[in-house]
Structure 1
Amino acid sequence: MKFLIVGLGNIGNEYAHTRHNIGFDVVAAFVQKHHGDFRQDRLAYVAEIKWKGRLFICICPTTYMNLSGRAFKYWLDKEKIELGNTLTIVDDLALPLDRLRMRGSGSDGGHNGLKSIQEAINSVDYPKLRFGIGNNFPKGMQSEFVLGKWTKEEEPIVKLKIEKSVEAIETFATQGLNAAMNSVNSQTYSL
């Protein structure tokens, strides 16, 4: 059983721990929990995790968000992983901060990272875990909001949701997509 776990984000210190980089943070938390280490490899930072008889190829693309599909497709093909055994973690403006949503397929919803993956694999049918970041920004300030850091008030809920996202990856790999969807989609996360 082999899985490709993909966290979307941008490389560079200026993007570290911003809302748009939550995919990187979730995958890093998963790798850390399972005592793995990232190495720089082709088109991505890569960590291999062995857990419960499963192999996880965890990647954080180094292509920048808008070209995430190149790294996704390269590692999918290189590791010969089925599309149904991939999970892409991504920020979502359309979801409130207190929500996570997992689906087995679905459109890019205007997200450039997902659009790039969709174009690279010519499909919308791949599992995604969307991490709600809310849309609490003035008109015309979407880019600044998405590329901004979490507020002090948001940080505790973000930390909790990162932990829940790591659990969702584990559930996805051990019990399947439906069980993982059931565990996260009905929840509202608050402290």
Structure 2
Amino acid sequence: MKLIVGLGNPGAQYAATRHNVGWLVVDELARQGEQTWRKDRDAEVCEVRLGAQKVLLVKPQTFMNTSGRAVVPLVRFYKLALSDLLVVQDDLDSPFGLLKVRLGGRSGGQNGLKDIIRGLGSEDFARLKIGISRPPPGWDVSGWVLSKWRAEEEATLRTLIDLGTRAAAIWAESGLLEAQRAFNGTDLRPKPPTPEKIAAAARDAAATGESSGS
């Protein structure tokens, strides 16, 4: 069995916030597997099949800062190795539009991840990190992570959830390296125009000006 944990906060008021992006991924995995959630200790869980692999999806119900209270007992109850655990999280240090899979490392200030590390006594498990960017001017971190997605971000968010769902499935079916190989180049940010496009735009503008002046 594998464990895929989506980090987030319970309650309707948090459902559409940046901090709950991990829940969006595991909710989509549950939807695709046509499975419903049930209560188990301090979490909501459901079992899905990803290829030949049985996977327990987990949404901690303890609020973000005490996520370890929900996750650690499940890891121990099912006698799982740390290599069987994937945590899906929001990542302040990555720009919105970036997605990456990594093994280990410190929490980066993500309090749910920090509590899981503390409870397990180890950093040596996989994470699927979805960038939400640092707060813009005038925002503190707490207000930013609990803010709702803006309308103009929705299309990119939907694509990130789709890609995150596929990355989690590949991790479960084929392992960490395959998931990293397939998804660690993901960057959905708008690309700056190439010199060729800039030159073409300048030529078009010049031609338009000549035409209107003739």
Q: Which TM-score band (shorter chain)?
A: over 0.9
Of Structure 1 and Structure 2, the greater helix share is in 2
Q: Distance in 1 between matches of 2:73 and 2:66?
A: 12
Kept after mapping to 1: 8 A contact 2:98/2:189: no
Q: Distance in 1 between matches of 2:130 and 2:84?
A: 19
How many residues are aligned here? 190
Q: Distance in 2 between matches of 1:86 and 1:44?
A: 15
Counterpart residue identity of residue 78, structure 2: E
Question: Paired residue for 1:124?
Answer: 123
Q: Write out per-residue CA displacement over residues 25-75 of structure 1, whole angstroms, 9 at most, x where no aligned residue.
A: 111011111111101221001101123221111110001111101111111
Question: Paired residue for 1:15?
Answer: 14
1:102: Cα distance to partner?
0.9
Q: Which runs of 4+ in 1 moved over 4 A?
A: none
CA RMSD in angstroms, aligned pairs only: 1.3
Q: Distance in 2 between matches of 1:117 and 1:41?
A: 17
Unaligned runs of 5+ in 1: none
Kept after mapping to 1: 8 A contact 2:17/2:148: yes
Question: Paired residue for 2:205?
Answer: none
Larger radius of gyration: 2
Counterpart residue identity of residue 14, structure 1: Q
SS at match of 2:80: coil
SS at match of 2:166: helix
2:177 aligned with 1:143, yes or no? no
Equivalent residue runs for 1:83-122 within 5 Å: 83-122=82-121
Unaligned runs of 5+ in 2: 191-214
Kept after mapping to 1: 8 A contact 2:100/2:183: yes
2:176 aligned with 1:186, yes or no? no
Q: Distance in 1 between matches of 2:172 and 2:54?
A: 10
Question: Paired residue for 1:29?
Answer: 28
Q: Distance in 2 between matches of 1:51 and 1:13?
A: 28
Query: Identity over the aligned pairs, expressed in percent?
Result: 36
Q: Tell which deviates more after alignment, 49-58 or 82-91.
A: 49-58
Counterpart residue identity of residue 165, structure 1: G
SS at match of 1:153: helix
